[in-house]
Structure 1
Amino acid sequence: MPFDAHDDVPDEALLVLFANGDSAAARVLTLRLTPRVMAHAYRLLGNRAEAEDVAQEAMLRLWKQARDWRQGEAKVTTWLYRVVANLCIDRQRRARGGSVALDAIPEPSDGRASAVEEMQEHARAEALQTALNDLPERQRQAVVLRHIEGLANPEIAGIMEITVEAVESLTSRGKRALSAALAGRQEELGYVDER
């Protein structure tokens, strides 16, 4: 199958095609999933280098799982989010004794923002990441999956292996904690009410 012919193929089918020797399917799946996996790991760890390591490890585990993948049991993205979360938790547990420092400046999305806008966006991203880092692991994971990744509560429940009610509780508590952590910084971060 030509490379472009895979664009509309679901993740699970691409994984099966890869397991059967289709290298174009692997390229499409890699290009489709790696940015999401990397972003998720970065949001959980707050460290770009560590997130890259986690993303690479998660994708390697996916390729190793390909031959044994059973379609219909789980979505590839659900499986990957769970693997990334577990790898991040393992890294954080090994690094206990201090908080994970922010290590890199996020790149601007379109390159056309002014220097002031870029600095403002960086300050906002850094403030959010710092506030996320202060949340308990499970709250941080639920908030990131729900409000940054945009997943639905049932899918989050599957990833975290908890009930939907537990997801709702974790995200609610996490949002309150984030609001409290960022409440005094609205003006500094450029969120001034324009009335």
Structure 2
Amino acid sequence: MAAEGAAEEAEGRALMAALAAGERAALGRLVVRFGPPIERYAAQMLRNRADAEEIAQEVFLRVWRRAGQFDPARGTVASWVWRIAVNLCIDRRRRAGLRQFLGLEVAPEPADEAPGPEARLDARSALARTRAAIADLPARQRQALLLRALGEMSSAEIGAAMGCGAGAVDQLLSRARARLRAELGGAEEAM
């Protein structure tokens, strides 16, 4: 597993060097590698698919523009790219909160909740409860949990992306999981 991670990082560094040299194909390979999990992460953090797509695009625009600034001595390619995504999501949430506070935010369209077969309804209900429980987590716990689940990152990589140590990430994850178990445990037993 460690050899696989080292190979991925070597490939990532080669892609960053190629990108810094202006090779557009390298950006495409980074988008394939990081794009889907970043978009899923942003969708969970922002609760808006359109905003998540914009964030993912902005991440790779910044990666393209700042490829020459990547410093492998300061962290992995994954932690650098994910740090950009985390910061953009934080900024977007802050701006949205300010806009809402000032009364500039338009009310979101209601979700289409057309009833379907019972199993599908139960699955939607469980998913909604899980999403709500994740959304209720403190911001740092939610970030760490989503980076682990959607970014498939190690504690050290999450720590680098969030600007804290791996031990702090482990504590955030432990607290997040305990809180989710407490909130969802009763619902799962009732099913």
TM bucket normalised to smaller = 0.7 to 0.9
Q: Distance in 1 between matches of 2:140 and 2:172?
A: 7
Decide whether aligned partners of structure 1 residues 68 and 152 sit closer, same or farther in structure 2, where only a CA change above 3 A counts.
closer
CA contact (8 A) 1:89 1:137 kept: no
Map of 1:133 onto structure 2? 135
Contact 2:27 / 2:60 at 8 angstroms: preserved in 1? Answer: no
Structure 1 residue aligned with 2:156 = 154
User: Normalised by the size of structure 1, how large is the TM-score?
Assistant: 0.74
**2:103 pairs with 1:94:** no
Residues 44 and 103 (structure 1), Cα distance of their counterparts in 2 relative to 1, 3 Å cut: farther
CA distance in 1, matches of 2:150, 2:86: 14
TM-score by length of 2: 0.75
Cα gap change, 1:143 to 1:12, in 2 (>3 Å): same
Match of 1:19 in 2: 20
1:163 corresponds to:
165
- Other structure's SS at 2:140 match: helix
Distance 1:104 1:77 in 2: 33
Cα RMSD after superposing both structures = 3.0
Partner of 1:111: none
How far apart, CA to CA, are the structure 2 residues paired with 1:60 and 1:104? 30
State the distance in 2 between where 1:42 and 1:123 align.
19
Q: Distance in 1 between matches of 2:89 and 2:20?
A: 27
Q: Counterparts of 2:33 and 2:110 in 1: how far apart (Å)?
A: 25
Q: Structure 1: 5+ residue runs without aligned partners?
A: 1-7, 106-113
Distance 1:122 1:62, change over 3 A: farther
Determine if contact 2:76/2:157 at 8 Å carries over to the other structure. Answer: no
Alignment size in residue pairs:
173
Whether contact under 8 Å (1:47, 1:102) holds in the other structure is: no
Unaligned runs of 5+ in 2: 1-7, 102-106
Q: CA offset at residue 140 of structure 1?
A: 0.5
Indicate the larger mover: 47-56 or 65-74. 65-74
Q: Is the 8 A contact 2:159 2:166 kept in 1?
A: yes
Of Structure 1 and Structure 2, the greater helix share is in 2
Change (3 A) 1:33 1:103: farther
Secondary structure class of the residue paired with 1:135: coil
Alpha-carbon distance in structure 1 between the residues aligned to 2:86 and 2:109: 18
Please list every run of at least 4 consecutive aligned residues from structure 1 whose deviation after the TM superposition is greater than 6 angstroms: 100-105
